[in-house]
Amino acid sequence: KQLIMEGNRDPALVASKMKDLIKAKSLAEVDYVAVVDPETLRKIERIGKEVLVAVAVKIGEIRLIDNLKIA
Mean pLDDT within 10-21: 96
**Owning domain of residue 52:** 2-70
Q: Name the domain count of the chain.
A: 1
Q: Which is nearest to 4 in space by CA: 55, 59, 63, 68? A: 68
pLDDT above 90 for 26? no
Strands, DSSP E only, in 1-71?
Answer: 29-36, 51-59, 62-70
Q: Which amino acid is at 54?
A: A
Q: How far apart are CA 17 and CA 40, in angstroms?
A: 23
| CATH code for the domain in which residue 30 is found | 3.30.1300.10
The whole-model pTM stands at: 0.87
Q: What is the pLDDT of residues 31-69, one digit of tens each?
A: 999 999 999 999 999 999 999 999 999 999 999 999 999
Mean pLDDT within 3-21: 94
